[in-house]
């Protein structure tokens, strides 16, 4: 008689911020692109440094390194375009990363009670324990109380 232990393997994208590696669920990643011009304009959302144009879309650039490794990235080679889920829709967010990313299959352990909200879970991979990022907690968005108005404002607006 043999027993098979079913493990729930999921796909993750490993990304590098400085010397550290993090993971994001692969289903939340749209693509990995070369850095392009960042367009800046006045705003008050500190985590957003501007927007890039990608496939006709205007995509906010969110530097998550400050919050995760305590400093902004000096050299950035790529943008990981992630799909950020809001109340009723999804939008792209560009995350600057230091280098190439890697697609892996691994089993995720759930976050502990003491973990920060940006931790979606943990992976054990190649001798490292890697934090899986919760993009909804890590990147800015409307607070739940402001969501209805924000949802109304979302999407494409036709010129009047």
Partner 1 sequence: MRPAPPAKHGTARTEQIILFRVSGQLFAVSSSSVKEVRAADSLTSTASEVSHPSLRKVKHVVRRGGKPLFIVSGALHFGLPPAPAALVFVLRHTQTALLIDGIEKMTTMTRLQALPQAFCHEERQWYRGLTALDQSVVPVIAPEGFLTPEEIDLLDASLAPEEALEAESTGEAGWTQ
Interface with partner 1 (CB under 8 A) = 39, 41-45, 47-48, 51, 53, 56-60, 62, 84, 86, 91, 93, 139-143, 146, 150, 153-160
Output 59 or 78, the one with its CB closest to partner 1: 59
Residue (of 147, 155, 34) closest to 94 by Cα position: 34
Minimum distance from residue 135 beta carbon to partner 1 (Å): 10
Residue 127 is inside which H or E element, if any? none
Minimum distance from residue 4 beta carbon to partner 1 (Å): 43
Output 3 or 41, the one with its CB closest to partner 1: 41
Output 66 or 115, the one with its CB closest to partner 1: 66
Neighbours of 35 (CB within 10 A): 14
Minimum distance from residue 136 beta carbon to partner 1 (Å): 11
Minimum distance from residue 23 beta carbon to partner 1 (Å): 21
Is the alpha carbon torsion for 49, 53, 55, 80 positive or negative? negative
Query: Could you tell me the CA-to-CA distances from 12 to 68, 118, 123, 130, 144 in Å, in that order?
Result: 18, 16, 9, 11, 28
Q: Determine how β-strand 48-54 pairs with β-strand 9-17.
A: unpaired
Output 127 or 159, the one with its CB closest to partner 1: 159
CA–CA gap between residue 12 and residue 125 (Å, rounded): 11
Minimum distance from residue 5 beta carbon to partner 1 (Å): 41
Query: Could you tell me the CA-to-CA distances from 34 to 11, 19, 39, 58, 60 in Å, in that order?
Result: 22, 20, 15, 15, 15
Output 104 or 150, the one with its CB closest to partner 1: 150
């Amino acid at each position: 008689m043999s027993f098979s232990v079913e493990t729930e393997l999921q796909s993750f994208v490993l990304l590098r911020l400085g010397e550290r590696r993090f993971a994001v669920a692969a289903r939340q990643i749209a693509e990995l692109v070369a850095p392009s011009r960042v367009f800046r304009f006045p705003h008050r959302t500190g985590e957003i440094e501007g927007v890039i144009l990608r496939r006709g879309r205007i995509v906010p650039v969110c530097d998550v390194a400050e919050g995760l490794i305590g400093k902004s990235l000096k050299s950035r080679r790529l943008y990981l375009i992630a799909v950020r889920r809001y109340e009723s829709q999804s939008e792209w967010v560009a995350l600057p990363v230091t280098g190439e990313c890697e697609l892996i299959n691994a089993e995720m352990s759930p976050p502990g009670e003491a973990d920060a909200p940006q931790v979606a879970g943990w992976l054990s991979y190649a001798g490292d324990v890697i934090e899986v990022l919760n993009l909804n907690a890590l990147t800015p968005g409307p607070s739940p109380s402001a969501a209805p108005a924000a949802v109304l404002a979302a999407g494409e607006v036709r010129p009047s």
